[in-house]
Amino acid sequence: MLRTVANTPKDVVSALPGASTHGILAASLCLDTSEDLKTWARLFPSRADVRAVMPICWPEAYQALLPAGARDILKAQKARFAKDWALFAPRFPSVSSDEYLYLWLLVNTRTFYYKNAAGAGGKSDENMALQPIADLFNHLPGDHCEAAFVPGEGFRFTANRAYAAGEELYVCYGAHGNDTLLVEYGFSLPGELNAWDEIALFDFLAPLFSAKQRILLKEAGFWGRYALDRNSACYRTQTALRLLCIRPDAWLDVVAGDRDEDMDREVVDARWRTELRKIRAEVKAMSIHVDTSRFATFSDKDVVGATAMRLLSQRWAQILELIDLELERLENPDDDDS
């Protein structure tokens, strides 16, 4: 049966005025003593497993080793949790912060989005639901199993092909890069399996711009949100880099559509190649630092430390791969089929 705000006990909902759907669903798990939940809970990952893979549970020293994009996502996640916990804690003081966080994270990683009876759609917080058993599907980009909400029935999963006995079926959680997957779900995917992966570039590029250039970028709507994916640097990144290469008046003409971007492509690509090599050096240094720490001696009891460093090592290696792909394109433009 679906677990939604609509079928959450009224005393729980009324005790948490203004709470998010996420917070209410977490509260309902905390306070539910039914046999149904006990049966379902046998399938939950252990508290130790959740603490090991979810960055929000890591010591700050490990969180500080996350790439900038993941740190931004984690900051927002911490704010969501803090708001939900602040509402829950004074009303249910018998539940510890650790217990609430564990169940809050189960909701975070195991909910589906659905259309309600009134026909409201969209990926809205109000459309969050938990469905036992269906939450066992793992994520993989692409078409594997289609998940559709059927009113009165729940979620129906339809495979895209015949599967052999013992073969795992996947669903796609959404178009998520590995920073999002790591922070929100506790894992990341190898680069070749995640076409949506990208690197947040703002922290690397922001120091390059003068105060006047920053004002110009802000006024034109091109300050921030710079990224590199498996195909190229985003348009915002390319536009910002162009300001480092040509006069401000010429740059404004490009933004206005009065100057052909191709006129400056070679000089912009050359500057980008130079900066990207510097970024690669920083990323490589961080990757080496993480790997050195990873292979340091952990005690047998330090599961969190060993797991965190393994996940961090994987993430920095993925970032390095994306940078190398872009450098290959820049250094061998004739090989680019795009």
Tally of structural domains, the chain = 2
**Shared domain check, 202 and 185:** no
Strands 198-200 and 227-229: antiparallel
Query: Is residue 289 domain-resident?
Result: yes
Q: What is the pLDDT of residue 217?
A: 99
129-157 in b/e burial notation, b at 16+ Cβ within 10 A? bbbbebbebebbbeebbebebeeeebbee
**Shared domain check, 205 and 140:** no
Beta bridge partners of 146: 158
**Shared domain check, 313 and 186:** no
**Shared domain check, 159 and 89:** yes
Domain boundary among 139, 168, 193: 193
Domain boundary among 178, 193, 208: 193
User: Which residue, among 81, 82, 124, 83, has the nearest Cα to 104 in the 3D structure?
Assistant: 81
Q: What is the pLDDT of residue 245?
A: 98
Query: Is residue 338 domain-resident?
Result: no
> Going by C-beta distance under 8 Å and a sequence separation of 6 or more, which residues neighbour residue 270?
none
Q: What is the pLDDT of residue 315?
A: 98
Q: What is the pLDDT of residue 213?
A: 99
**Shared domain check, 163 and 73:** yes
**Shared domain check, 230 and 158:** no
Q: Which domain CATH number covers 22?
A: 3.90.1410.10
**Shared domain check, 188 and 172:** yes
Read off the DSSP letter of residue 230. Answer: S
- Cα–Cα distances in Å, from 107 out to 28, 119, 333? 10, 23, 46
Structure token digits, residue 268: 């912009």
Q: What is the pLDDT of residue 172?
A: 79
Query: Is residue 92 domain-resident?
Result: yes
**Shared domain check, 204 and 169:** no
**Shared domain check, 183 and 97:** yes
Query: Is residue 337 domain-resident?
Result: no
Query: Is residue 336 domain-resident?
Result: no
**Shared domain check, 155 and 15:** yes
Low-confidence ranges of the chain (pLDDT < 50): 117-123, 338
**Shared domain check, 212 and 149:** no
pTM for the full predicted model: 0.91
**Shared domain check, 60 and 117:** yes
Domain that residue 73 falls in: 3-193
Query: Is residue 304 domain-resident?
Result: yes
Strands 138-139 and 170-171: parallel
Domain boundary among 162, 193, 224: 193
Beta bridge partners of 111: 130
Query: Is residue 185 domain-resident?
Result: yes
